[in-house]
Structure 1
Amino acid sequence: MEPKLPGNKKMPDFDQLNDRIIADRPSTPSLVIKTNLDAKDATENNPYNHDKEPKDPKEFRDYFEE
């Protein structure tokens, strides 16, 4: 009886992948602080925005704004 392995048979073994970097968790905690110098709008100077209107602007702003 063959073992039932989920997934695509054409997918390479995870240990053979060489085009990815898997970083370890940082050993120290990090602190993220929002200041008065930060942009008021989540779409302004946001590298994930790519100078175009997102598909769902409300969801985009909710994700990046507090």
Structure 2
Amino acid sequence: MEPKQPGNKKMPDFDKLNDRIIAEIPSQPMLVIKTNLDPKNVTDNNPYYQSRDINDPKEFKEYFEE
């Protein structure tokens, strides 16, 4: 039996979306808190930042500054 309203025709194909970061589910709960003691530059002391591995540094900074 076909659904009566299968979905929105204007919705993009999920596999073609490139503006999202889809991460693996962590094995343990995690709490991340940003404080006034954090460095102003998100690349300072950031274990995820290695300049040779980052394709788009602007996108990286925007992600961590949110």
TM-score norm. by structure 2 comes to 0.46
Structure number with greater Rg is: 1
TM-score norm. by structure 1 comes to 0.46
